[in-house]
Structure 1
């Protein structure tokens, strides 16, 4: 059995974003507090006692406080059920929360060597001393089993795979700490319970749904997928920015080549959008965009949503 908790579904900045006055953020601050969402991350567990995070969002401390499954065990002065963090990219949205885990509890960080190189090159991440917080490299298309704190088997198999995307934006025009190339900058994950065979996919950043990706995820019981923008020029049209979704390495939800259209006919039992920008009108229940999304079988989860496979 796999238990998954959505810690947050929003893209960078969350909802509401601190400096944004778009319709979604205005509503989240006033008449519609149900729109409030922290930045994208999930936790998953096979036994309900040991948990692994996928990405560590800047809102991680708030998310841990709000999630009982991740609280310290009663009667213990110091404890965490978090056994490890798996990073799918090196963006601020995925790694900044690691700094909130610096209080001396042991856990492991699993990431591609390119992402580990980013952490190594920035001395602020040295607050996570490697004698306590181990950094374990993962490879594309090489399954691995994250370990429990005592080194024993977790019973979980994680398969990292490449998806179309971009490297961390703050490295644009600069030399990457890991050198040339981009293989491993943006990963998807297939996460499976080895005993039951249940599995799901986590793909929180993706620029295109290729035929190869469609074949991989076909018939899956659950897919978490990149829902950053509704339309590619959304930020420009709303006067909120100058970049398209594609230029940031994200596919749009709508359109002929958008996620909704490209997922049609794949027979995926449950489709969940994550990493949704505050500019995206699909946040608003009753909107044309939200109606179209739900008719196509997609959902946008609230923080704290738990799914059991």
Structure 2
């Protein structure tokens, strides 16, 4: 299984266009050891030719142009994209669909709650119906049930519903439904190896723990170092947990959780522009290095 990190940043990317926090100022001026990041998305493939996009960020055009393996290979038009699979309906994971409006109908995989939001409160699917169109495939929300995506066989996908927030535009904000936000187990049955991907992980529930323990590689929520990180940076008052993200530091934080796992390779993704781990020379990044926890970057490749 091939995994390519198209984008590793949280909403707004890094540097964020209107942000002058320590990190954003530092990466623009070259005063910190950091590299820009686009908004979170990955691509997975069994053969390196046909790919499933997991989320479709507003940065998707530049992400695809920077990834030759997914470029059209024959004829005047084409694509290596077999399908798009969404883990939620968040703007930073869905608005790139508008960029993919040309050509054949999109093969779109998402849960029924996500599809509801994308056809009502934020009707992207309805808009795309006036262009190339969309073929919707309902993703099951039973962790005991796996599914395949034509063109990416033999990969098997398993949806793992998570406790996290629905998007701010959703009528279910504050009252999440089973399937508003999912993690994904992606397994190659030929190698027996699997990836667990969860860019929005608010807490480690009992049914989620075994998927993390049994993974060969984790790509999990790296949004914020502290719960009050945005306030510390002077750019807002929202807590990480209010936005559906488990902070890395402190008791019960992501670092403590990952330190308790022996099997998987551990990689943080969906990193907010305020997070000090973006600076490779920061004490927080040093703590991750000592723990064997990696920080995803755009263009990173993983082979399982």
Per the normalisation by structure 1, the TM-score is 0.91
Trace 1:46-57 onto structure 2 (pairs within 5 A): 46-57=46-57
Structure 1 partner of 2:215: 220
Instruction: State whether structure 2 residue 222 is matched by structure 1 residue 230.
Output: no
Please tell me whether the aligned partners of residues 10 and 37 of structure 1 are also in contact (alpha carbons under 8 angstroms). yes
Distance in 1 of aligned mates of 2:154 and 2:53: 16
Structure 2 partner of 1:145: 148
Structure 1 partner of 2:92: 93
Instruction: State whether structure 2 residue 200 is matched by structure 1 residue 197.
Output: no
Instruction: State whether structure 2 residue 163 is matched by structure 1 residue 168.
Output: no
Structure 1 partner of 2:71: 71
Deviations 1:22-51 (A, max 9, x none): 111112212158520000100010011100
Per the normalisation by structure 2, the TM-score is 0.93
Displacement of 1:301 in angstroms is 2.1
Deviations 1:268-287 (A, max 9, x none): 33111111100001100111
Of 212-221 and 246-255, more deviation after overlay is shown by 212-221
- Figure out how many residues of one structure are paired with residues of the other and give that number: 298
Displacement of 1:221 in angstroms is 1.1
SS state at 1:260 partner: helix
Structure 1 partner of 2:41: 41
Displacement of 1:233 in angstroms is 0.4
Please tell me whether the aligned partners of residues 6 and 301 of structure 1 are also in contact (alpha carbons under 8 angstroms). yes
Distance in 1 of aligned mates of 2:287 and 2:59: 29
Distance in 1 of aligned mates of 2:252 and 2:11: 23
Please tell me whether the aligned partners of residues 9 and 302 of structure 1 are also in contact (alpha carbons under 8 angstroms). yes
Displacement of 1:181 in angstroms is 5.6
Structure 2: where are the runs of 5+ without partners? none
Distance in 2 of aligned mates of 1:134 and 1:8: 25
Deviations 1:203-259 (A, max 9, x none): 110111234422332142100000110000000122111100011110001111100
List, as ranges, runs of 4+ consecutive aligned residues in structure 1 with deviation greater than 6 Å: none
Distance in 1 of aligned mates of 2:261 and 2:169: 35
Distance in 1 of aligned mates of 2:172 and 2:280: 43
Structure 2 partner of 1:246: 241
Displacement of 1:62 in angstroms is 1.0
SS state at 2:284 partner: helix
Displacement of 1:297 in angstroms is 1.2
Trace 1:278-289 onto structure 2 (pairs within 5 A): 278-289=273-284
